[in-house]
């Protein structure tokens, strides 16, 4: 897994890494995805662009804009 950090126009820091699934997932995600995560949000972009590690920050921010938000699981109540 490779990892990068970028900062958007609002100054929010995003962690970016490639995810390769260890178990069977949907056909859309079976080749892996880029995960974008900040303190309040997580997004996925599939498939992983081959050039993402060498892409400039502006291109990663563009990819962030294309990524799909991931719904966080709801907390279980005791």
Domain carrying residue 50 = 3-69
pTM of the complete model: 0.85
Determine, yes or no, domain membership for 75: no
Determine, yes or no, domain membership for 41: yes
pLDDT tens track for 44-66: 999 999 999 999 999 999 999 99
Could you tell me whether strands 42-45 and 68-69 are parallel, antiparallel, or unpaired per DSSP bridges?
Answer: antiparallel
Count how many Cα atoms sit within 13 Å of the Cα of residue 18 in the half-sphere of its side chain: 13
Determine, yes or no, domain membership for 74: no
Determine, yes or no, domain membership for 17: yes
Could you tell me whether strands 68-69 and 13-19 are parallel, antiparallel, or unpaired per DSSP bridges?
Answer: unpaired
Count Cβ atoms below 10 Å from residue 6 Cβ, excluding itself.
Answer: 20
Q: How many domains does the chain have?
A: 1
Region for 32 from its dihedrals, namely left if φ exceeds 0, alpha if ψ lies in -120 to 50, beta otherwise: left
pLDDT tens track for 7-50: 999 999 999 999 988 878 778 787 889 999 999 999 999 999 99
């Amino acid at each position: 897994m490779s990892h990068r950090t970028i900062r958007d126009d609002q100054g929010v820091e995003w962690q970016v890494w490639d995810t390769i699934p260890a178990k069977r997932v949907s056909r859309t995600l079976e080749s892996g995805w880029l995960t974008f995560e900040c303190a309040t949000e997580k997004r996925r972009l599939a498939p992983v662009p081959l050039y993402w590690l060498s892409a400039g920050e502006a291109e990663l921010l563009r990819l962030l804009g294309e990524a799909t938000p991931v719904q966080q699981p709801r907390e279980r109540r005791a």
